[in-house]
Amino acid sequence: MSFCAICDRVVVDQKEFCYYHQEALGRLQETFEDWRKASGIGWEEYLDKLCQIDETGQWVREVAEHIKSKDGPSTKT
């Protein structure tokens, strides 16, 4: 049994995150597609913006901060 990379909850389906953070990750990626089409924003810039705006929910913000903290140059799209 493994635990979420962000909180201490058990992960779902061998994924990296728990149910809540996995859901947040899905929303984060969907929203990125919209933003990218609308404004051509890059992934890292998008994560920065998410962490700055008040509308971002707590779960999504935690996922964004987690990705930023572990992302290296190798994961650029």
The residue (of 18 and 47) whose beta carbon lies closer to Zn ion is 18
Which of 16-24, 27-35, 48-56, 63-71 is the region at the interface with Zn ion (rule: CB under 5 A)? Answer: 16-24
x/- track of binding to Zn ion for residues 21-40 (CB under 5 A): x-------------------
CB of 8 to Zn ion, least distance (A): 8
Residue of 30, 32, 58 lying closest to 43 (CA atoms): 32
Please count the residues of the chain: 77
CB of 6 to Zn ion, least distance (A): 4
Residue type, 64: A
Residues in CB range of 13: below 8 A, 6 or more apart: none
Which H/E stretch holds residue 76? none
* DSSP at 75: G
Which of 20-28, 36-44, 50-58, 68-76 is the region at the interface with Zn ion (rule: CB under 5 A)? Answer: 20-28
